[in-house]
Amino acid sequence: MGSEMSVRPEVLKNIIIQNQTFISGIRLVRRDAVPFDDGTCYVLTGMRRAGKSYRIYQHIQELITAGQADTKDILYLNLEDDRLLGFAVEDFESVLRAYRELYPERKPRIFLDEVQNIEGWGKFARRLADTGMTVILTGSNAKLLSSELHATLGGRYTVREVWPFSFAEYLRYIGIDLMPNWQYSPLQYRVRHAFDTYLYWGGVVPVFSATDHREAVGTLVGTVLLSDIAARNNLRNTAALKLLAQKVAESVMQPVSRSRLTNTLKGAGLPVSRITVSDYLDGMQAGYLTFGISCWRESLTLRATEQKHYFFDNALLTNFVAEDPQNKLLENLAAVTLARRYGKENLFFWRKGVEVDFVVPQMKAAFQVSWRMDSVETRAREVRALVQFADAFGWENLTILTLEEETTIEEAGHTIRVKPLWKWLLEEKPA
């Protein structure tokens, strides 16, 4: 790495042309996404294999189809391409030079995939933005990206989070097109059946499309843990990291403190400090394995030290929870969907004698998640929590998400809708 280019110019030109041909010709299933504004630079973040590259491919094809760009205008590099081994920040200039030699009269639209692999990438990205180029970058490590974003890029780039396929996108991928009033047609049975697979195996294409789902998700988790989390955050105790991920999965649905997780690992024979556990939890969140939500209206200290933890995709959770996972999977999927719709930073739980699973202050909405509502005790517990919350704050957007039950409950002057999660996921204007 240094001043001398490790990849020959001819190889660079070959990579540029091959990527142009590949991206323009690949068949895509459309994903739902906010369009990119022309002339604006973006950083796409999200977990490995969530679809960041896919989103770039879709945008490029949309540009070409709309006549806003030609194939030759595209400069795309995947910085995990093995042909770019040894690539360093100084080599970006050689890439631009190779492009100019190919197309001297054109100004490229630049797409750099997994840019966090190149130390110091932020300075190059800033220079591109300052010269008025349209640039879209992707990365799979929030910590590494944010350090460059804040230190170097300032407000020159807009950050967007890319999540795995939603249930609607998953249905589209497997060939189920939702017609108007599909809920009242035989199509609902196909949708319900598809949900069973989606609940367990999530929205990461290499996992849900694999013949052996468990093997595929095991490979994904191994890569995320060892490459995206351990290696990039210099976390040396991989045994502790794996066990921590296991214990976080087991705690889904329940608030858990970092001190408690520390004691759990110590009890398993791993002498780790609370600081180490905090570093590892932060690494798991930076590597897009998990995200945490805090208790609404609690102190900042408690918000930071005690959280409910969820996995960015249900397949990741399935990998760690083998016995009786249904309740955890249902709540995890609700958490992922709410975080996708409203932002992780706008999602909380509430606890004051009773616990409300999720609250979204910007929507004045509160949610409970319950696998079944057929027992008197379960029904009373879920309703009581929402009623107490509504009495305290005056919110009337109250929902219980279940596997199958659909009804309306009138209780103490409040209206609570009960909705199957699989139907709620497909609402165009969700509560």
Name the more confident of 323 and 284.
284
pLDDT bin (cut points 50, 70, 90) of residue 148 is confident
What local confidence, expressed as pLDDT, does residue 224 receive?
Answer: 92
How much is the average pLDDT of 374-382? 94
Task: For residue range 191-203, list pLDDT tens digits in order.
Answer: 999 999 999 999 9
**What type of residue sits at position 201?**
W
On the CB side of 338, CA atoms within 13 Å amount to: 34
Identify the CA nearest to 358 among candidates 318, 323, 395: 395
Which of the pair, 224 or 143, is modelled with greater confidence? 224
CB 332 within 8 A of CB 202: no
Q: Architecture of domain 9-161 in CATH?
A: 3-Layer(aba) Sandwich (3.40)
Q: Find the DSSP H helices in 184-313.
A: 187-201, 205-208, 213-223, 238-251, 258-267, 274-286, 300-305
Boundaries of every domain in the chain: 9-161, 197-424
Q: What is the pLDDT of residue 428?
A: 66
Percent of the chain with pLDDT over 90: 76
The per-residue pLDDT for 361 is 96
Per residue in 221-246, pLDDT (tens digit) is: 999 999 888 988 888 899 999 999 99
pLDDT digits (tens, 9 = 90+) for 304-339: 778 999 999 999 999 999 777 999 999 999 999 999
pLDDT value at 429 more than 60: no
Asked whether the beta carbons of 278 and 258 are under 8 A apart, the reply is: yes
For the cut 70, the answer to whether the pLDDT of residue 431 exceeds it is no
Confidence of residue 408 (pLDDT cuts 50, 70, 90): very high
Q: Mean pLDDT over residues 85-110, rounded?
A: 94
Q: Which of 18-27, 167-176, 321-330 has the lowest mean pLDDT?
A: 321-330
Token pair recorded at residue 54: 């896919």
Whole-prediction pTM: 0.92
Element (H, E) at 346: none
> Mean pLDDT, to the nearest integer, of 395-414?
96
Q: Are 204 and 315 in contact (CB under 8 A)?
A: yes
Asked if pLDDT for residue 86 goes beyond 90, the answer is no
